[in-house]
Amino acid sequence: MVLKGIYGPAATILLLFLAHGALAAEFDPNQLGVAGREAYAKHQRLFNEVVPKHKVQTKVQVNSGLDALTHVTFYEKSTPINGRIEVPIPFELNEHIFDFKQVEILGSGLKGVTKVLVESTGAGNPVLGITAQREKSIQIKVTSFMCALNVPLKLIIEGQGTVEKIEFVHREGIAMAFDASIYREPGLDKPIKQVKVSVDATKLRSIEGICEVKRERFFRYYADPNGDRSGKESYFRGKGFLPGRQIVEIGPAFEDRYGAANAMATLKEDPKRPGSGYADPAFFERDEFWRFEGVDPNLEFVMCFDSWPRFTHPTNFPGVPNQRGTPAIDKFDAAADMSVRYLQAVNRDSGRTARWWEVKNESDVKSEWIYHHEEGYDGWKLLADFHNTMADAIHKDVPQVEVGGPVSAWFIPYAGDFAVWKNQARFMDLTRDHLDFYSHHFYEIGAMDSLERVRREGHSYVQGGLECTIDMLCAHMDTTGNRKPLVCSEYGSLSFVRDERGFWMHIKNINSLMLKFMDRPSDFEITVPFMLTFMHWAPDSLETFIHQTPDGEFVKTKNTYIIDMWTGFKGKRIPVSDTEHKVRTHAVIDGDLIRLAVNNHSGQRAELDIEALLPKGAKVESVKRRMALFEKGEVKFVYDDLQRLDSIPLGVDVTAILEIKLDRNLTPAQVWNERIHYATSTAVKVDGSAELEIPVDVEKAKAATLRVGLFRKGGFSQPLTLMLNGVGQEVDLTASEGTPNLFDYVEVPVDPKTLKAGNKLVVKTDEPGTTVTAARITTVTEGRLGR
C-alpha cells in the first residue's frame, strides 16, 4: 500500500523539511568511507538543491514508512513535434539521471515518434532505446544515456505527435532518507559460513579433452582491434587481455556518417535499381576500409552487423520505431549483398576481418527486430530466414568468415511459460544447416548481494541461471544432432548506479561469470565482458577501464581491478572440490605455482579452509592473494601475502585468486577426463514425477555427478527426490522457499557402477509448477598424458 503526492516547488520544500530533513539529522556521514560520504553529499544535493526547483511526485510506503521520490518533471508545455523538437535537460539533473530508472514522454499521437536521442555537446549523440511506445506515452531506460554527463544535454525528439510533459521516473522510489547500509559490506548481519576446499595437484583435469586454460577465450574486453581511442591496446595486451567484439552499424556509419553526412561520401541505394534496397556498389569500390590494417593476423575476434540503412526499411509498419534498422522482408537479399560487399572491402583494404560475424545485434527483442509480436508475422521464422540468407551469402563470397546469431539480449528461458526457450530452440532448428555458431548475451542485474536480490525479485545468471540456460542449449543441440560452438559476445552487469557501487557490481559480476565460463571450455569459443577500454562519447562512463579527465589525461578506473585479478592466470586445470554449492572453485597448475580461483555467491561471508593435495615430498612455500572487495563504501584491491591456508575470509559475491607457491615444479602425468552427457529432453513439466533419459557412452568411470536444472515460481517448501536407474536421493531445496523465480540446479554424486548406455532419471515432487529445465551426467575416467 502506498500514499502518493504531487507537489509543486513551494510545497516540495515543506515536504522535504518534514520527510527528509528530520531523518537526515539522525545519520552521521562520518561513519562511512570516502565513497559513502560522496554519495551522501550527492543525495543531499538532489533533495536540498534540485528537487525544490521542480514539480515532483512522491509516495509513502505505508508498510515501511519510507518517503520516496518517484517523478521529477523537467518539461511541461504542449509542444507539437512536426519533424523535430529540442528539449534541454536542466544541467543540475545530469548527475542524478542514473538515480532514476526511465524517462517518460507524455502527450498525444506519440506513436508517430520515430527517434529519440540525447545531444551531448561534443561528446556523442546516442540514440535512446525506446522500451515502450503508446499513443500517450513513451518510456526510455536511463541506461540508454551513454554519453558524458558533465556537459549540457538536450533531448531530440523526431517524428510526429505532441509532447505535453517529460519527466524522470523511478516508480519504486528514491528514498528521501539516505540509506547508509548499502555502502557497507554485505553479509555483516549473517553468520560466517565455513567452507572446505580441496585442490589436487597430483593429477590434471580435462574437460571434454581440454586441459590448458585458453586465455584468449576468456580474457577479453569490449573493443575491436585498432578501436581503442585511449591508445592503451598494447598495455592491455601486455596484461594478457585482448580486444573481443564490436558492432558495425551500417546505416549510422555509412548512410548518416554519425552526423557528418554533409562532409563525407555516403552510402545510397543503387541508382540502377531504385526501390530494391540494394546498395550502390560504387560506394564500396571507392571508399577505404582500413579498420583492421596492421592487426595481428592470428588475433581472432567477433564483429556484429546491425542497423541497415533506411532504403532497406519496411514501409508498412507505421508507428513502429525501427531505430535499429530491421530490413524489409523483400530486402533480405539486398541487406545480405550489402554486408558481403562491406566484408570484401574490409578484406581488400585491411587484409583481414573478424573470424566470427554475428548477423544482427540482440535480435530476440522487438526494438532490434520489429517483426516480433506483430500480428500476421512470424517474427522468429523471419529472423531465422534472415540469418540463413546472410549466412549463405557470406559463406559463398567470404568463406573464411563464420556466421552466427541470434545474439540474444534477454535469454530467460522460463519467461512466458518457457515461450522464450521454445523460440530459441526453434531458431536453432531452423538455422541448423546454415549457421556456424550460436551467440548470446548474459547480463546480471546490479545488486550488492546477488542471492538476496534473486530471493526478492528478478532473474540471476550468477545464482545458477547461467548453468541452467547453457545446459538447455547444449542438451537441445546434442539431442538434435546440431552441436555448434557458442559465443558470448557481451556479459556483465546491468547497473543503474554511477558511483563506487557501480564499479563493484561490474567487477564482481564479471569475475563471477568469467569463472563460470572457464568451467565450460568446450562449449564457448570466446566470451567477451562488456567492459570497454574508453568511451570517447562518455569519458566518465562506469563501463570502461579508462577515464579521461577534463584536461585530457587518461587515467585507469577501478574496473582495471579485473585485469589485476586475472593477470597471469594460466596453466593446466587440476581437480578441485568444495563443500558449498554456492561457492565456485577453479584451479590450475603452472610449474611450481597453483592458482586457485574462488567465488562466493552464498549470500554469507565465508571462511575458506584449503587442503592442497601434493605429490610426496612437495611442500607449500608461500601463499599470495589477489582480490577485489567492497569495504566501507569503497572498492579496494589487495595483493597480499597469507601466512596459512585456513581461515581465509571471502566476502559476499567476492572472487579471490590464491597463488600457492611450491618448492618444486610439478608435472602431473595422471589425467582425470570429464565427459558431459545430456538428457534427451528439456523443459519437462513435473506432474508428481517426470522421467528423462540420459545416454552415457563412457565405460569404467571412476566418478560421476548428476546435475538437474529446476524452475519453480516460489521456490520449494519441501525436499524433492532424484532417482537414477532406481537409486533415489533426496535433495533439500527448502532454503529457496519464497524465491519468486527459482532457476537453479542441484548436483549430487552418483555411483558410476550404476550407469548404463541409457539411464533413466525420475524427478519426484508434490509441488505443482515444477519444471526440469535440463539434466546431465558428468563422468570422470582416469588416463595419462599422451594416451
- Containing 281, the helix (H) or strand (E) segment is helix 281-286
Band of the pLDDT at 151, cuts 50, 70, 90?
Answer: confident
Partners of 226 in the β-ladder: none
Residue 25, pLDDT > 50, answer no
> Rounded to two decimals, what is the model's pTM?
0.85
pLDDT 10s digits, 595-650: 999 999 999 999 999 999 999 999 999 999 999 999 888 899 999 999 899 999 99
List of E strands, 250-351:
302-306
Cell readout for 281 is 556498389
C-alpha closest to that of 80 among 158, 169, 154, 167: 158
> Cell 544541467 sits at which residue?
91
Are 518 and 220 in contact, with CB atoms under 8 Å apart? Answer: no
- pLDDT interval class at 463 (50, 70, 90): very high
CATH class of 218-566: alpha beta
| Domain with residues 193-204+580-662, CATH architecture | Sandwich (2.60)
CA distance 426 to 418: 12
pLDDT at 447: 87
DSSP-based three-state secondary structure for 652: coil
Query: In the chain, which residues fall in CATH 3.20.20.80?
Result: 218-566
CA separation (Å) from 91 to 120, 151, 164? 11, 8, 21
What's the farthest any 2 CA atoms get from each other in the chain?
83
Q: What is the CATH number of domain 675-784?
A: 2.60.120.1200
SS3 state of residue 21: helix
Cite the residue boundaries of each domain of the chain with CATH code 2.60.40.1180.
Answer: 193-204+580-662
Burial (CB count <10 Å: 0-12, 13-18, 19+), residue 768? exposed
What is the DSSP code (8-state) at residue 326? P
Contacts of 273 (CB under 8 A, 6+ apart): none
37-66 tens-digit pLDDT: 888 899 999 999 999 999 999 987 543 457
pLDDT-based confidence at 1, cuts 50/70/90?
Answer: very low
Written as nine digits, the cell of 522 is 568446450
- DSSP, residue by residue, 160-227: S-EEEEEEEEEEEEEESS--GGGGS-TTTTSPPEEEEEEEETTSEEEETTB-B--GGGT-EES--TT-
From the number of C-beta atoms within 10 Å of its C-beta (0-12, 13-18, 19+), residue 154 rates as middle
Retrieve residue 638's grid coordinates.
589487495
Mind listing the pLDDT tens digit for each residue in 189-248?
899 999 999 999 999 999 999 999 999 999 999 999 999 989 999 999 999 999 999 999
Contact between residue 501 and residue 509 where contact means Cβ atoms under 8 Å apart: no
Higher pLDDT: 595 or 540? It is: 595
Instruction: Write the DSSP assignment of 670-725 as a string of letters.
Output: EEEEEEEEE-S--SEEEBSEEEEEEE----S-SEEEEEEEEEETT--SS-EEEEET
Task: Return residue ranges of the chain for CATH 2.60.120.1200.
Answer: 675-784
What pLDDT is attached to residue 27? 54
Instruction: Answer yes or no: is pLDDT of 15 > 80.
Output: no
Give the pLDDT confidence score for residue 10 in this predicted structure: 43
Residue type, 617: G
